[in-house]
Structure 1
Amino acid sequence: MSILVQVLLTLLVLSACLADVVAHTLRARTLKETMNWLERLQQEVSCDKMNVINIFADQKSRNNTEILCKAATIAQEVKSCHKYLEGIYYNLLSLVRHKEPCPVASGSTTSLKNFLKELDHVLQEEFKNQN
């Protein structure tokens, strides 16, 4: 095997590894940014008594990707409440790699305040699991 082929193979392997590192870093940054916004929102949101669909009610089939996608739907529905909710909406879509939020079936409701608290727990869990 020629030296050129060896160098090209080495560069290919390194670029694949670097892509994984970059993706991991971007995901961590997005999670952290979203958790920071949630923390601020929980302190200053004025419409925290607003009711939203409780996507956390069914704890048996807890799939964080599905929960984050549904949470994006909720964030999209209430994003007029606070500017951070729009950023959270886009970050959640980015985390689950969807272009559109997932459909959410109607059901029991919870306050926006409780929704944000539960979402923060899910994001913290995701952050811990990725490291």
Structure 2
Amino acid sequence: MSILVQVLLTLLVLSACLGDVVAPQSHTLRTRILKETMKLLEKVQQKQEVSCDKMNVINIFADDKRGNNTEIFCKAATIAQETKRCHRNLGGIYYNLLSLGPESRAKHKKPCPVAPGSTTSLKNFLKELHHVLQEEFKSQK
């Protein structure tokens, strides 16, 4: 077999193996962050302390016209930051949500301001956040 054929076969095999790598990195990174955040949320929901279960937080999901998940993630980061003393995984959720939020905020690590309004329990907030993350993950495919 000539060297040219060997080189061409090698390039063909490598190009077939790199099929997933060609996908935009921001898309695959976002998907990985979504998966990791959902896993962390599941851990928090399974091991939540009773006192934290009853803690009230601002209900950022009350608006029926929300539509913009990027803004939701940014506001959810603010709430995760405020409640991270309840569970250590809320700190990881906070940083992950920041990276899903608007680019300028992720670089500066500043969450979005959350206006006072109706409240919900931390337990319900985490369930709703998990649901929104699942919807966002499905839309990534």
Q: Name the TM-score, length of structure 1 as normaliser.
A: 0.82
1:117 to 109, 127, 132: 127
| Structure-to-structure mapping, 1:18-37, within 5 angstroms | 21-37=24-40
**How much has 1:74 moved relative to structure 2?**
0.3
Gaps of 5+ in 2: 1-20
Gaps of 5+ in 1: 1-17
Which string of whole-angstrom CA distances, capped at 9 and with x for unpartnered residues, describes residues 10-58 of structure 1? xxxxxxxx68522211111110000011111111111121100000001
After TM superposition, what 4+ stretches of structure 1 lie above 3 angstroms from structure 2? none
CA distance in structure 1 between the aligned counterparts of 2:126 and 2:22, rounded to whole angstroms: 32
- Give the secondary-structure state (helix, strand or coil) at the position aligned to 2:85: helix
CA distance in structure 2 between the aligned counterparts of 1:59 and 1:19, rounded to whole angstroms: 37
Q: Name the TM-score, length of structure 2 as normaliser.
A: 0.76
Letter in 2 for 1:79: K
2:66 matches 1:61? yes
Q: RMSD value over aligned CA atoms?
A: 1.4
Identity of paired residues, percent? 72
2:108 matches 1:103? no
Letter in 2 for 1:36: K
Partner of 2:3: none
